[in-house]
A and B are shown apart, each in its own frame.
Chain A
Amino acid sequence: MTAILRRELHSYAVSLTGPVAAAVMLFVAGLMFRYINLHNGYATFAYAISNSGIIFYIVVPVLSMRVFAEERRQKTDQLLFTAPVTLLDIVLGKYLALVIVFALPVLVMALYPLIIAHFGQGPFLIDYASLLAFYLEGCAYLAIGMLLSTLTENVILAAIGSILFVFATQMIHNVYSLFSGGGLASLVFFVGFSALLGILVYLMTGFYYVSILVTAAGAIACFALFMVNDEWFTGKIEWILGGLDFYSRTIDFYQGSLAIGNYVYFLSVAVSGLALTMLSVRRRQLM
């Protein structure tokens, strides 16, 4: 694992993706710090973090798009997968490199509350809890980005995939209210959701009949439930979409509540991302 970790870190350093990601993060966070904290005089650095969400749109694809896609494109995965290391070693080595590269600018950001402290009393606990939430949110994104890079050997596609994922999880809180309606709208949504699930199953397993089966089973179940009791669907859309809502989970911290459960949420997204990455790589070997 350490061999892979060291090679990845080396690659981030010489390919400039690491420095570019760090520069983007420090530029955006620094700008927000300058504007919100220094210029407008708020003592809470968490406000600056909460306005730095754009970072993920750039940093996640830049760091994660190449992880497996590039290995496949230049056929170096043949070296990794025929070496006496486990798949877990490979995935963990690569993921650790990602979160280390992402951690370096976050550590620099950790200095900002100290600068504020120089001028007066800032809310240290909220600031650092928010920074940790920001970091773990990034780690969750990077795990999903890595998963997406196993699905294609085209780094651009992998990048577009992770940008869309960031977009969905940052924006989904805006659309809950549109779906609060009952009955038919929910049914349409759930059938669509089954189809999406089917597509995901196809990407992960490569068996189109399994994905058709999943979609059909989902759709039939939805219709059946709808016939039996259409009340059941009320509020369920929110519940499903809520599972993808990264934004609200960090906002809790920025607004001053220490919602520790949200840390667990981000960590479990990261772990699921790693598990699915391993599954996806294994599936490629079977294909």
Chain B
Amino acid sequence: MIEVKHLTKLYGSHLAVDDLSFTVEEGQVYGFLGPNGAGKSTTMNMMTGYLAPSAGDVIVNGHSILTEPEAAKRTIGYLPEVPPLYPDMTVREYLTFAARLKKVPRREIKSSVAAVVEELALSEVEDRLIRNLSKGYRQRTGFAQALLGDPETLILDEPTVGLDPRQIIEIRSLIKKLGKKHTVILSSHILSEVSEICDTVLIMSEGRLAACGTPESIAESREAVTTVTILSPEEEKALRKALAGLGEIRFSPAEDGLLRCVLTMRASGGEEGTDPRRLITKALQEEGCDYFSVEVARASLEELFLSLTDETDEEGGSQ
């Protein structure tokens, strides 16, 4: 479990992370989502003890990263944005070094290196210099390093960046598999990736947490306002009468002499999970109104992301 408490980071006068607090529960996959420069990497660097926060604290599996850094770091495996590889070492030498650095007991070093090499399918390149490896292999070597020492928590900063589609699928399924044993926190600016792998999404913008929850719950909370578009050949007056009490109505002319009616409804979809379309069609039928289409604009994670990050962009104004 990781508790982030009032974490703040100032770069000179630029506020990169602004009083950020959240809790990461065990055994789940968390996704950090946000545009470039939202403070994802900075937050991860502070959670792993690479950067010292300007204010606040991070409690990693019961240990403060500030007062007991070694105990805290021992429970974290970290894959930074750029995998921290020494080009003058072979993959095996590098992983052996990383295992020693993470205080893996001497007699287990060989077996744990072999295990991560197996896990990430690195055996082909085990004896090659990291300098000569392709980007995909480098990323996997960095990933293997994070797994060494069997950490309770894995922190992965954009783990699939720069990989080809096949490798992306492989890494994603690996993360899903690891998510069963470890707590995984990954960052990404690819929305489909986060909604596919993660149990919980943390949307960051301008150094703050814009939203937090399962992809569905975030979408629902945002759907407190539902927008329905109705195309009808009826008169404005009749429609207004039929839809009275359902919400705010706006009319605009549409093609073929039809009327477009945009209905903004409070409280999503009715209490018993009724589809708003059912409510509307019922109301229209009762008044004998004809209609050609009723469409609900459901916010996708993509739209949510844009709306959440735009709101804060307008305030902050800077990148």
Contact = CB atoms under 8 A, between A and B. Distances in A.
B269 to A, nearest CB: 46
Given A75-B82, A285-B52, 14 more contacts: A11-B86, A14-B88, A15-B88, A74-B86, A75-B80, A76-B85, A78-B82, A78-B84, A81-B50, A83-B98, A84-B73, A285-B50, A285-B51, A286-B54
B208 interface: no
Interface residues of A, number: 26
A84 B84 contact: no
Nearest to B74: A84
Interface stretch (A2-10, A26-34, A248-256): A2-10
A86 interface: yes
A278 B85 CA distance: 23
Interface residues of B, number: 31
9 nearest A-B pairs in the assembled complex, by CB-CB distance: A3-B100, A79-B84, A84-B74, A82-B48, A84-B73, A76-B84, A83-B101, A78-B80, A84-B70
Nearest to A206: B12
Interface string B95-109: 001101111000000
Nearest to A13: B88
Nearest to A282: B52
A80 to B, nearest CB: 7
A287 B82 CA distance: 20
Contacts of A76: 84-86
B61 interface: no
B73 A74 contact: no
A150 to B, nearest CB: 15
A82 B97 contact: no
Contacts of A79: 84, 98, 101, 145
Contacts of A11: 86, 88
B11 interface: yes
B103 A84 contact: yes
Nearest to B72: A84
Contacts, number: 72
A231 interface: no
Interface in A58-81: 74-81
Interface string B172-194: 00000000000000000000000
A90 B261 CA distance: 68
A150 B126 CA distance: 32
A104 interface: no
B80 A10 contact: no
Contacts of B101: 3-4, 79-80, 83, 85
Contacts of B2: none
Nearest to A70: B86
Contact of A10 (B52, B70, B87, B93): B93
Interface string A270-287: 000000000000100111
Interface in A198-229: none
B76 interface: yes
B114 to A, nearest CB: 18
Given A4-B101, A6-B100, A7-B97, A82 B86 contact: no
A2 B76 CA distance: 21
Nearest to A3: B100
A7 B86 contact: yes
Contacts of B50: 77-78, 81-82, 285
Contact of A85 (B70, B80, B93, B145): B70
A83 to B, nearest CB: 4
